[in-house]
């Protein structure tokens, strides 16, 4: 890390601003101060730096914190600028702070330190979204609605069953973020430039002071690997993809007047006075593009980088910051939009049977009465072409099977199978939409939320 020590030769030039990460480093200003403190305390405890010098350095760091990132002297990055500020305050002795380390292990420690906080915030928003979804599910276990495959009416379901489908997916998103957190939460400090140090440092102690779970053992790995960035960005991108599906569903439901978004999560038109548009959810949907772009940017930057440190890594970091900010905000907005939306129960009930969506239940009923399912499927398909009501089924039985419908099945049971609410209630298999099956899913969702 020659940049810091040879400022006489490498202090400027036309590429200065291109080299500098100082502005983007505002994000790790606090983290760098913490890393400096922990490193200084460890150096003093190990007898590498005199206690009084360490004390002066710590006092200077406190003052620098009060002044803020904006008051830092010029520097190639926040690490160099803070060191310069320490030296400006206490003289050349301040330079002892950089004993037994490099900006390479320092920046890796700062990124991990700050990212922990950001990932926990992202995790919190996934929990808030799951809470919103569970609350919707609790209120709408009996609110029937159309269910779709290929965006065509498929089988009636309930709002609760829909909400818990997303709760399950977001729950896995939470887990992926927490797993990434575990691998972020290891200290690279003490790796130095990549090749360790002659000083008798205590890496475990520095890690402990910074609240890391342990150290990244190999010093080259510690200073130069960024797979933790890639992992968390991918986990965020996966969550953004889940969010985009949820957002798209709600946009479609709003189009059908199944759901009314609260005004807080809607926008209007500058020309069409009657408009209420689901803009927030459209933006949530779009954030999946930002996040996928973050993964792409990061992967492409990291691909083929040789060990150990290369300056490319400076531009890798920003992809992760941008992704975590965008996805956390999208998740928060989705949670709010879901929590405040009104479901139009009457419209949903009126549409739940659209497109003969109870057909599968009728075929199931015929199969339960002994008809091979494939034959039942054929007969009901025939009825679907004739309008999909009782009379159509009656005609189809005679045409396809040459028998009256009553000889196959109790007419009352057919009427019931044709009723969307009864159709939902009858699908009580594990994980199904029947209110009693949903009660079990709600319980599991509650349990997994308290585990996470």
Q: Which of residues 14-43 bind ligand ARG (CB under 6 A)?
A: 21
Interface pick for ligand ARG out of 313, 324, 327, 424 (rule CB under 6 A): 313
Should residue 341 be labelled a site residue for ligand ARG when binding is judged by CB under 6 A? no
Catalytic-role residue among 150, 270, 429, 450: 150
Q: Select from 103-111, 198-206, 331-339, 395-403 the region that touches ligand ARG (CB under 6 A).
A: 103-111
Interface pick for ligand ARG out of 1, 118, 173, 332 (rule CB under 6 A): 1
Per DSSP, helices labelled H in 256-410 are: 279-302, 312-340, 345-351, 359-368, 373-385, 390-396
Catalytic-role residue among 223, 237, 269, 429: 269
Tally the C-alpha atoms within 13 A of residue 269's C-alpha that lie toward its C-beta.
7
Should residue 225 be labelled a site residue for ligand ARG when binding is judged by CB under 6 A? no
Interface pick for ligand ARG out of 107, 145, 261, 363 (rule CB under 6 A): 107
Q: Select from 295-303, 307-315, 429-437, 440-448 the region that touches ligand ARG (CB under 6 A).
A: 307-315
Of 220 and 418, nearer to ligand ARG (C-beta) is 220
To ligand ARG, the closest distance from the beta carbon of 10 in angstroms equals 9
- In degrees, rounded to 5, the angle at the alpha carbon of residue 293 between the alpha carbons of residues 289 and 297 is 175
Should residue 3 be labelled a site residue for ligand ARG when binding is judged by CB under 6 A? yes
- Helices 78-90/51-67 angle, 10° precision: 120
Interface pick for ligand ARG out of 84, 266, 314, 360 (rule CB under 6 A): 314
Reading the block at residue 341, the tokens are 């939306």
**What does 218-249 look like in DSSP terms, one character per residue?**
SHHHHHH--HHHHHHHHHHHHHHHHHHHHHHH
Should residue 77 be labelled a site residue for ligand ARG when binding is judged by CB under 6 A? yes
Q: Select from 42-50, 142-150, 208-216, 306-314 the region that touches ligand ARG (CB under 6 A).
A: 306-314
Task: Catalogue the E-assigned strands of 120-217.
Answer: 144-149, 152-158
Q: CA 26, CA 317: separation in Å to the nearest integer?
A: 13
Instruction: Decide if 262 is catalytic.
Output: no
Residue 342 is given by DSSP the state E
Instruction: Decide if 269 is catalytic.
Output: yes
Of 1 and 34, nearer to ligand ARG (C-beta) is 1
Q: 373, 289 in Cβ contact below 8 A?
A: no
Q: Select from 112-120, 200-208, 313-321, 413-421 the region that touches ligand ARG (CB under 6 A).
A: 313-321
To ligand ARG, the closest distance from the beta carbon of 76 in angstroms equals 7
Task: Catalogue the E-assigned strands of 106-179.
Answer: 144-149, 152-158
Of 227 and 410, nearer to ligand ARG (C-beta) is 227
Number of residues that bind ligand ARG (CB under 6 A): 11
To ligand ARG, the closest distance from the beta carbon of 74 in angstroms equals 14
Q: CA 128, CA 418: separation in Å to the nearest integer?
A: 38
- Helices 359-368/373-385 angle, 10° precision: 140
Should residue 104 be labelled a site residue for ligand ARG when binding is judged by CB under 6 A? yes
Q: CA 265, CA 223: separation in Å to the nearest integer?
A: 44
Q: CA 140, CA 250: separation in Å to the nearest integer?
A: 15
Footprint of ligand ARG (CB under 6 A):
1, 3, 21, 77, 103-104, 107, 309, 313-314, 317
Please list the active-site residues: 150, 269
């Amino acid at each position: 890390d020659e940049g810091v020590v040879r400022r006489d030769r490498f202090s400027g030039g036309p590429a200065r601003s291109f080299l500098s990460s100082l502005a983007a480093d505002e994000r790790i200003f606090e983290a760098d101060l913490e890393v400096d403190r922990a490193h200084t305390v460890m150096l003093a405890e190990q007898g590498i730096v005199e206690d009084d010098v360490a004390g002066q350095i710590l006092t200077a760091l406190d003052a620098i914190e009060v002044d803020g990132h904006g008051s830092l002297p010029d520097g190639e990055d926040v690490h160099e600028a803070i060191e310069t500020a320490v030296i400006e305050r206490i003289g050349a002795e301040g330079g002892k702070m950089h004993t037994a380390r490099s900006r390479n292990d320092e920046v890796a420690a700062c990124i991990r330190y700050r990212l922990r906080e950001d990932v926990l915030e992202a995790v919190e928003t996934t929990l808030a979204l799951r809470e919103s979804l569970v609350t919707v599910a609790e209120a709408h276990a009996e609110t029937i609605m159309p269910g779709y495959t290929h965006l065509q009416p498929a089988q009636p379901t309930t709002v609760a069953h829909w909400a818990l489908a997303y709760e399950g997916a977001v729950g896995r998103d939470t887990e992926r973020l927490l797993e990434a957190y575990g691998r972020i939460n290891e200290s690279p400090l003490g790796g130095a430039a990549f090749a360790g140090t002659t000083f008798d440092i205590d890496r475990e102690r520095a890690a402990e002071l910074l609240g890391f779970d342990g150290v990244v053992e190999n010093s080259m790995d510690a200073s130069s690997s960024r797979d933790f960035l890639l992992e968390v960005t991918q986990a965020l991108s996966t969550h953004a993809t889940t969010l985009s599906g949820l957002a798209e569903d709600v946009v479609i439901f709003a189009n059908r007047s199944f759901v009314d978004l609260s005004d807080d999560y809607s926008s209007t038109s500058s020309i069409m006075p009657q408009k209420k548009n689901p803009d927030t959810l459209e933006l949530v949907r779009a954030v999946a593009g930002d996040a996928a772009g973050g993964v792409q940017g990061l992967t492409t930057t990291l691909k083929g980088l040789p060990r150990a440190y290369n300056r490319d890594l400076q531009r890798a970091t920003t992809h992760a910051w941008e992704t975590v900010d965008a996805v956390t905000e999208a998740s928060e907005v989705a949670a709010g939009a879901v929590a405040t939306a009104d479901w139009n129960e009457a419209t949903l009930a009126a549409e739940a049977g659209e497109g003969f969506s109870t057909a599968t239940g009728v075929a199931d009923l015929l199969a339960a009465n002994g008809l091979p399912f494939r034959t039942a499927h054929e007969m009901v398909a025939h009825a679907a072409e004739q309008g999909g009501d009782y009379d159509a089924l009656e005609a189809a039985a005679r045409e396809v099977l040459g028998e009256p419908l009553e000889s196959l099945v109790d007419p009352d049971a057919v009427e019931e199978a044709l009723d969307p609410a009864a159709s939902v209630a009858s699908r009580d298999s594990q994980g199904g939409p029947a209110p009693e099956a949903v009660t079990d899913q709600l319980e599991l969702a509650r349990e997994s939320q308290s585990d996470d």
